[in-house]
Structures are given as structure tokens and as C-alpha cells.
Structure 1
Amino acid sequence: MKHHINKYPVFLLLLSVICFGSCKKYLDEKDNSNFVKTNYFTSGSQAQTFVNGIYTSLYLFQNGDAYGESPFITIELFAGHTTSLGQSVNNSNVINQRTDAVNPGFEDVWQNSYVGISNANLALQQIPAISMDETLKKKLLGETHFLRAFFYYHLVRLYGDVPLITEPVTVNSATLYPERSAAASVYDLIISDLQAAQTSGLPAADQTGRVSLGAVNTLLASVYLTTAGYPMQKTENYAKAAATAALVLPSYTLFDKYDYLHDNAHKNQGELIFQNQYLVGVRTNAISQLTLPFNLPVGAYGDHYGAMVPTNAFFNSYEANDLRAQERQFYFSSYPQYGDPSKTVVFGVHALYKYFHVESALGNGICDENWTFLRLPEAMLIYAEATNEVNGPTDAAYTQINLIRARAKLPPLAGLSKDQFRTAIWKERYHELAYENKAYFDIQRTHQIYNVLNNTFGDATTTANEQGVTMKAQYYLWPVPQREINTNNKLKQNPGW
């Protein structure tokens, strides 16, 4: 099964994909090449359909190809705790710190993020003038503000200063060939968008896959936590991060089984705050295939890419008796052979069971597992970390981290200093949110890496990881894709690239 990544212009002038459906939400695609603004934005149903279309840009993060390359994997490789057993030269180059600005993954994320942004800009311009139900209008605008913030949040963390486009672009626009804007300005827009979404009447939680108030507040809390660290260092935002994360906690509950993180029955429920939606017959993915060991007969998949495999050293960094490190919890090292379950396939590595999709593995190999962008433990750990930075370890902060540890069958933390508690939270983020595209962004904002061999944290650019690679300072950011620079001479490259 081969998964292709689509190419788009840097800034789309018009939307080319419109989505329909109720339960399917933004899953269903339809070519709408006759779309023009003058004949489209005239009704509430058109506004709903257009916003559904913006959601489709979220798929860029799980797009993949036959070599095992995908943005969600590239982001994880930068954190240094992942091996790639497959055949991707680009993945190997990232792991060994020898990639460059022509890596297609950098281009895909840049271009496709701006597809979503350009469509969000058009929606924010056109929907306010539509005569339609005002409650629905506010909700759709809130979803759009969130989605634009979501794309910009990834862009500014990955590339630093990026073009800040807030209006639809035409061939005559000054922003057709834009300069990069300061990261501080991009963060200002992200925060403004999320604050607008907070007051748009979104539900506290949503089990259909759409943006909820919980998603808005979790993302905003993450933004505040990020901007309190490097490179912004606005430490006053720790208090804002804690207060915003606290708003999320009452609306969600932790699962009592880790299996529910990656099965079909529990999509968009429990602790799952915001997911990318997949459905057999409409939109599928290769998440399981990409994260299984290379070329082993596990499940009904045509290919097993081995593109994202945890290092043994990272796996061994879990505390003794941590449930998450036990077989078929977050990881697994063997499985019945597909076609002959009387035999057991032994991997030789610890693969990611948290992304193993049993339904497709035992079925026809077509995976519609949802990808989780935001879940409750992240909000809980943001609250604990930010609270600690403001007030030191509080009972409320201990409560949040200890709930996560209790589920993992670990003893509660107590009696720690502020510095010790900070380190404990960072470790918990690595272990609970493992391989969910959080670790690289934690390295960026803390300038520390988790030295799993010594169970300590060290300076990111002087501490070798378990693979013997020391992060280059340039790797705090991705390069601006070379193709973008070749097209637009106003764009300047990031340092070191």
C-alpha cells in the first residue's frame, strides 16, 4: 500500500477541496474546481461545507509514502529517541544530523500548512457577511480561528519566523511573495485567534471530531507554555498556561485502558480532546504500517515500513513496573504471525503498540485509526509544570501528575523541590506523551534533552543522545524549504542551513 503526499502552491488563491457529510465531517472530499467567491458564500450550508474543507489540511501530518516518510515521523526523529529500520534515506539523514533544506518533508509541511491558512483566511473574510443562523456562524468562525492558529503554531515552532498572512491572497496581493515575519508577531496572531475561539460558543467537548472549547484551551495552554520558554522567554505566560489548562480538566476523563487510545470504539471520547478523523471507504492512513518493524509479517498489511521505532534505551528509561512499558500497553516486542497465529513473530525491538490498529491488522489491512493531536494528559502536565514554575509544587499540581502515574501503576510523587518537580514533569511528558510529536517541541522550549542513559536532562547541543548523536544548534529549527527560497527571494534561510 503506497501513500502519496500531495504538492500544492505556496499560497492557494481558492479552495480546491470541499467536504460534505454529517458523521463523516471533513473526511469526504469533492473536487469543486468551479468554486468562485461570488457564487459560493451565500448560505449557512455553504459556510459549513467550506469550514469542513479546512479540516482536510490536517491530513498533511500523517501523509506518507512508500519509503516510510511522513511529517509525524520527521518531527519525532528530530527528538533523537527513534530509529528507522526502513529504507528512507531522508529519515536516516535526519537521525544522523545530515539532512538539508531539500528534504521533501520540510516542503510538504510548509506548503500544506499554508493551504489550510489560506482557506481559513478566506472563510474569516467571507462568512461574517452571510445571512445565516448566528449561533452556527459564531461556531464556524471559532473553529476556523482555531485551525488557523493550529497551522501557524506548527509553522512558527518548526521554522521560526514565517510569513504572516491574514487575508486572502490574489495575484495582485503584496503578500503573494511575502517576507518572513517575526515569531513574536506570529504568536500574537495565534493567541488572538484562540482567544476569539474561546468566545465563539464551542461545546466544552466534542465527540464528532470537530473543534471544541477543550481543544482551544489545551492548544492555548500549550502556546503559553511554549512562549514562556525559549526563544520567547515570556515567563509571565506560565501563570496563563496554568490557568488555561485548568479550564480543560473538568471536561475529560482518563481512560482505564491504554488500548482505548488507538481503537475505533473510543475515537473522540474520554481523554481524546482533538483527533484527526479517518474512516474506511473515505480516508485511511498507514500509521500502523509506518510504526511496525520493517518487513515482519504482523497484520494484514502489504508493507511494514519500520520508519519509527523507539530506541531500546528510551524504552528502558521507564521506571520499574511502569504499566506503559509492559507488553501490549504502549509497546510490544512480539505478535502472532499473520496467516498462522500458532507462530509468534519476535521483533528484536520494542515497537509502538500505542499506534497498532488491531481492527485493520486482523482485518483487511486498511487502517482508519485516528491520529491524536491533543489529549487530557498533556493538559494535566501543562497545568502541573506551569503551576510549579509560578508557585513551586502545589497539592493541585501533584494531583495531576499523580493521576497519570497511578494509571501507570507507579507510586505518587511527594516532597520534591521545585527543580526536582520540574524534572519529574519533563520525564512524565516524555513517557506519557511518547512519540506523539511533543518531545522535539519540548527540546526547543527548554533547550534540554532527556539523556535516557543517565536518566537526567542535559543541554541539548552538548549532550549526546542514546544513538551517539549530539544535536546541532541549527536543529532547533527546520530549514525553510529550498524550493520556497528559490521561488521567493524575499525569504532568507535559517542559521546553519
Structure 2
Amino acid sequence: MKNTILIVLISALLITACKNELDISNPNTPTTANFWKTASDAQLGINAVYSTFHRPGLCRWYFFITVIRSDEGFSSSPNSDIVNNYDAFNITDYNYSSTVNLWQDLYIGINRANQVLDNVPNIAMDDTKKQQLLAEAYFMRGFFYYTLATLWGNVPLQLHTSTSVDKPATSTQEAVFAQVEKDFTTAAAGLPVSYDAANIGRATKGAAYGMLGKTFLQQHKYPQAVTALQWLVTGEGKSNYSLQRDYRNNFLEATENNSESVFEIQYAVNPTDNHDDDTQPGSDNLNYGTSIPPFFAPRPFGFTDGQARRWLVLEFEQERTMGNQRDPRLAASFLYDSTDERGPTFTMVYGRTFVSLGYPSDPGTVPNQNDVYFRKLLNDATMPGEVFHSGNNYRYLRYADILLLYAEALNGAGQTAQAYPWIDMVRARAGLAPLSLIRPDLNQDALLGQLKHERITELAGEGHRWEDLQRWNDLSAQLSARDAGFAHFTKNKDELLPIPQLDRDINPGLSQNNGY
């Protein structure tokens, strides 16, 4: 999909310019009047929906909102806006551009999906292909609304192509999740199990069932979550997925779209190295990379605007493998003074030792003995530094995540004993002893506590921690014991982000979230 889904910014092209009597329309310029006519138009339309992932809100600021805002991350950025909005829960500007970027990108993606859903049914084309493209659009709309529901909660539902006079009312988080359930259910019915090599990266049936399961679980609808996730674990789709033997393969560009990938956001760099992203509608040679790596990389290789909390390292160190080795996922997850267990003299950071970067003689340098950096989104294995156009895919939904979600759903549904095998699969890949052997009699509450540990060690820094804490009702000021930013957390307010004021100014019918 990296090389075959050519990004066409349909939403930008479909805006009809104001005309006067001297204006002459260019018949070759795509407009709503001459587009959506052919099968090619339909394909280009769905491609434009995927291109939304290359906008800065989704390829950069999403990770600040989901990783740095959670208790696993923090910011020491000289930019106080980043610190206040994503670490200290001191949000005073409801139009903060970086957060609004994500909000706008999600609605841009929704509008692109709606254009496909409104127009493709009327195109004369192969019906099987048509149904696939429509299913992809339902999946993508569901994905964007899932993100809005978990981060903003109560948001407007727009289910048809936007017009300049639309002023949709606020829908409750419950209503938004209900629509997400419908979209993923519809998508699952129409999506293929897999694609040929030229179309790898498109949403599959497994991705739809995985997202449907996540949606149910986020609402504590455990039996429904079990049913949805079962398709991937014990049902028809199980033969399509397996855990990678080498955990690190899930975060390297050379091993993208592997057997563990359930839904993977595709990034690539144009041969011309054009740095314009999807916010530049006038460019016909956009860069399709992600710009998050330099923000998470240590100086001098990046900006160090987002870092990991040290308690995460201690979480990994609670347990050794059956061969008395350190959990191999630790080194794959973080760069810090002991990414190499032998210490800073052997730990390599973009081809240089930790010692050569100032440790420990100058504790004021970055990195130093206290610093930990999220590694999974970086390119330290292949590059001497970071750039704004990384081609390393984001594995949004991995099979290991599915297995742990399935175990959590089973446990929540009162089937605690049945949850063990799926936790053990994830632990076995890391070389850890089976939970069923060392802690076989955990009750429902204790197993949930164990799953919280398992999700940290398997998924740290992958953007799921915030929704996990939200789902477990663990977001509170008590987290300040391991993340100082949470000292300012206000219950029944900071679980959600504020609705952008600029949207409320345009649409007075939008309600603000509680506490803002």
C-alpha cells in the first residue's frame, strides 16, 4: 500500500471556487460536478481517506495526547504549551493549535469517508469492488470516531458530506460509540480477510473485528467484546495472525506488515524527499512519512519534547525470563543508560555510546542517567538521527494487543480461567514463565491487575495507555506518585479534552465538556 495507494486530496479538490461572469471552468479540474463518475474516482476517493493519517495531528500530536498525557510519559520541552497541554493538565487555551490539529484531522478524515459513502453507491462499477471500498470507508469513519470518542467523548456526529451551513449538535459519548459499533460491524461484513501485495495496509476484516472488540471493551460490554475478538483468536481469522518470534520486528521499517499486524498505518518517504504533508493541497508530490520521531528522540538526534517515565523500566525488571535473562522487550521499548544490560558504555544511541553523549560526567546533558526515551517509533536502528519524514509504519493494532484485549474481555465476562492461555501466549514470546503455572488461581480482580502489568510490558509507548487507564477508571491524581503531572489532574474533567472554542464560536449548538 505504501507504493500503490497514491494520495489524492479529494476534499481539497472538491471545493468549487467562487465565480464571476468572466470565470471559465477548467474541465480538467476535479469538482463535485465532474468527479465521482468512475471506478477510478471511487478508488482515489478511498485513498484520500487513508491519506488523512499523514496529516500532523494524526502522525505527530496524537502521540503527545495518548502517550505523553498518560502516566508513562512526560515533557520537559522548552515549549511551555506542550508541557501544559500534554503533561501538567493545565489547559487554558481551548484553541491550542496542536490539539486542534488532531480534532480537525479526524473530522477531515470523517468528511472524506462520508464523501465515499455518499457518492460511490451511484457509480457504475464492479459490485464486489464497490462493496469493498464502501466497507473501507465505514472502517475509517469508525476509526476516526473511535478516536474522538475516547479523547473528547461528547462530539458532533456528521454522517454525510459536510456543507458550509452544517451545525450539528453535540452527541453523547455513548451515542458516538454506538455509531462506531455500527460502522465497524458494517465494515467487518464487507471487508476481505486479506489483500494482495499491492494493497497491503488497507483495512481488513480482522482489523474491523479488532476495532469492534476494542469499542465494546472500552464500554465494558464484555460479552460483545469476546464475540468480536473471538474471530481473530479462535475463529475464522486466527490462521491469518501470529506473534513475531522477534518482538523488535514490530517496530522496524524492514519488517513492516508482518504476521502480527492487524491494522498498520502506512508511512513512506517520496524519492524526491519532499517534506510537505497532507496539509499542502497544492502539492502533487506529498511526503507520506510521520514526523513524531524527532520529537521523541534524545538530543542531539531530536528535540526531546516527549520522554518516558523511569517507573516503566522498573515494571519490566519485576520479572526475569525462564532462562534468568532480562525481559527482551525492555531494550526494544526504550533507549536509556542500560538499553544494553551491561550499562552505558555498551548502550548505543544512534551509533554512539551513552557515555560519549556526556553520561555520567555531566548529569545536565541529554541524555543522562535519569532519562528514558520511547524507542518503538524511532529509527535508531537504521539512521544516524531523526527526520520529519520517517517511513517507519505505526503498528496501531498488533495481534499481541488483541490477545490481551481478548483475555481482559473474558475476565470481565466472568470467564477468568479461560483468559489464561492468551496471556501465556504473549508471555511465552518474551520468554517468561506461563502465568497459568506461577499464578494459576487468580480471581477476577487479581487477573485484571495482572493484565495491567502485562499491557505495560507489551505495549508501552504505543499509544494505548491513555485509553487503558480510562477504561479501568484509573485516571486520578493518585497517579502523581509516578507521574508528577497528575498532581494537577481533576477528576470528571481531565479524562476528556476540551471541545475547541473556535468550533463552538461557529456552531453555538456545541456543548463544552464538563469542567472547561
TM over 0.5: yes
When residues 326 and 146 of structure 1 are mapped into structure 2, their CA distance, relative to the original with a 3 A threshold, is closer
When residues 111 and 409 of structure 1 are mapped into structure 2, their CA distance, relative to the original with a 3 A threshold, is same
CA contact (8 A) 2:214 2:405 kept: yes
Q: 2 CA distance for matches of 1:63 and 1:188?
A: 23
2:413 is matched with 390
SS, match of residue 361 in structure 1: coil
**Structure ID, larger Rg:** 2
Q: CA deviation at 1:386?
A: 0.6
Matched residue type, 1:53? A
CA contact (8 A) 2:188 2:208 kept: yes
Q: 2 CA distance for matches of 1:427 and 1:143?
A: 34
Matched residue type, 2:459? L
- Give the total of aligned pairs: 447
* Alignment map for 1:65-76 (pairs within 5 Å): 70-76=61-67
Matched residue type, 1:279? A
CA contact (8 A) 2:113 2:140 kept: yes
CA contact (8 A) 1:76 1:435 kept: yes
1:433 is matched with 459
Q: Map Cα deviations across residues 318-369 of structure 1 (whole Å, 9 max, x no partner).
A: 2233655666321122554768779743532222222221465148855211
1:212 is matched with 204
* Alignment map for 1:96-115 (pairs within 5 Å): 96-100=88-92, 101-115=94-108
* Alignment map for 1:98-497 (pairs within 5 Å): 98-100=90-92, 101-172=94-165, 176-204=166-194, 208-228=200-220, 234=221, 236-244=223-231, 246=233, 247=235, 248-281=237-270, 282-293=287-298, 295-296=299-300, 298=301, 304-318=302-316, 319-321=318-320, 323-324=326-327, 328-333=331-336, 336=348, 344-345=356-357, 346=359, 347-348=367-368, 349-358=371-380, 360-362=382-384, 365=387, 367-395=390-418, 397-414=419-436, 415=440, 416-449=442-475, 460-468=476-484, 469-470=486-487, 471-473=489-491, 474-497=493-516
Structure 1: state its 5+ residue gaps. 1-20, 229-233, 299-303, 450-459
CA contact (8 A) 1:221 1:245 kept: no
CA contact (8 A) 1:249 1:376 kept: no
SS, match of residue 150 in structure 2: helix
Q: Map Cα deviations across residues 83-116 of structure 1 (whole Å, 9 max, x no partner).
A: 2233231221131221232322321121111111
Q: CA deviation at 1:285?
A: 2.4
Q: CA deviation at 1:465?
A: 3.8
SS, match of residue 464 in structure 1: helix
Q: 1 CA distance for matches of 2:157 and 2:146?
A: 12
Q: 2 CA distance for matches of 1:327 and 1:461?
A: 27
Q: 2 CA distance for matches of 1:152 and 1:426?
A: 25
Matched residue type, 1:280? V
Q: 2 CA distance for matches of 1:382 and 1:133?
A: 37
* RMSD between superposed Cα atoms in Å: 2.7
When residues 424 and 315 of structure 1 are mapped into structure 2, their CA distance, relative to the original with a 3 A threshold, is same
CA contact (8 A) 1:143 1:197 kept: yes
Question: Which among 76, 79, 91 is matched to residue 85 of structure 1?
Answer: 76
Identity %: 24
Q: CA deviation at 1:168?
A: 1.5
Task: State the TM-score, normalized to the length of structure 2.
Answer: 0.80
When residues 359 and 283 of structure 1 are mapped into structure 2, their CA distance, relative to the original with a 3 A threshold, is farther
Matched residue type, 1:386? A
